[in-house]
A and B are shown apart, each in its own frame.
Chain A
Amino acid sequence: MPDQLTLTPRQRQDLRTIAAMIIPASEEYRVPGADDELIQADILATLGRDAKPVATALDHLARLAGMPLADLDPAARDGVISTFRADGGAPAATLVRVVLQCYYRDDRVLRSLGLEPRAPFPKGHVLEDGDWSLLDPVKARAHAMRQVS
Chain B
Amino acid sequence: MNDPVDVLIIGAGASGAAVAWSLAETRMHILCLEQGDWMKPADYPSTGRDWEARFYGEWSTSPNIRGRPEDYPINDDSSPIKVVNFNAVGGSTVMYTAHWPRLHPSDFRVKTLDGVADDWPIDYDTLVPFFEENDRIMGTSGLSGDPLSPLTHPPMPPQPLGLSGPLVAKAMNKLGWHWWPSDTTVATMDYEGRARCINLGHCTPACAQGAKASTDITYWPQAIRAGVELRTHCRVREITTDENGMASGVVYYDKDGVEQFQGAHVVIIACNGVGTPRLLLNSASGRFPNGLANSSGLVGKNLMFHPYAQIYGYVTEPTDSNRAPPTCLWSKEFYDTDLSRGFVRGYGVQFVRGAGPVFEAVVSEQKGILPWGADHHRVFRKLNGHRLGFSAICEDLPEEHNRVTLDPVLKDSHGIPAPKIDYAISENSRRMMEHALARGREFLETAGATDICVNSPIPWGGWHLLGTARMGADPQSSVVNEWGRSHDVKNLFIVDGSVFVTSGGVNPTSTIQAIALYVADQMKQRLANLFD
Contact = CB atoms under 8 A, between A and B. Distances in A.
B209 to A, nearest CB: 7
Nearest to A142: B147
Contacts of B332: 145
A137 B143 CA distance: 16
B461 interface: no
Dominant secondary structure of chain B at its interface with chain A:
loop
Interface of B: 44, 46-53, 56-57, 104-106, 108-109, 113, 123-124, 143, 145, 147-150, 159-163, 165-166, 169-170, 172-173, 176, 178-181, 197-202, 208-209, 320, 322-324, 332, 335-337, 357-358, 361-362, 365-366, 372-374, 376-377, 381, 384-385
Contacts of B376: 22-24
Ranked 8 nearest A-B pairs via Cβ? A130-B161, A124-B198, A125-B323, A134-B169, A143-B147, A120-B200, A125-B199, A120-B46
Interface string A15-37: 00000011110101101000000
Interface string A74-105: 00000001000000000001001100111111
Interface residues of A, number: 53
A110 B380 CA distance: 12
Given A48-B57, A105-B49, A121-B208, A21 B373 contact: yes
B214 to A, nearest CB: 16
Contacts of B361: 100-101, 103-104
Contacts of A117: 49
Nearest to A124: B198
Nearest to A97: B362
A148 B103 CA distance: 13
Interface in A109-149: 110, 113, 115, 117-132, 134-135, 137-139, 141, 143-148
A79 to B, nearest CB: 14
A146 B366 contact: no
B170 to A, nearest CB: 7
Nearest to B323: A125
A129 B324 CA distance: 11
Dominant secondary structure of chain A at its interface with chain B:
loop
A10 interface: no
Interface in A25-75: 26, 28-29, 31, 46, 48-50
Nearest to A133: B169
Given A120-B200, A127-B160, A31 B377 contact: yes
Contacts of B202: 120
Given A127-B199, A146-B104, A138 B179 contact: yes
Interface of A: 21-24, 26, 28-29, 31, 46, 48-50, 81, 93, 96-97, 100-105, 110, 113, 115, 117-132, 134-135, 137-139, 141, 143-148
Given A93-B366, A141-B176, A145-B150, A104 B373 contact: no
Among A115, A135, A141, A144, max chain B CB count under 10 A is at A135
B160 A130 contact: yes
15 contacts: A29-B377, A29-B381, A46-B50, A100-B365, A102-B53, A113-B357, A120-B208, A121-B47, A122-B209, A127-B324, A134-B161, A139-B147, A141-B176, A145-B106, A146-B337
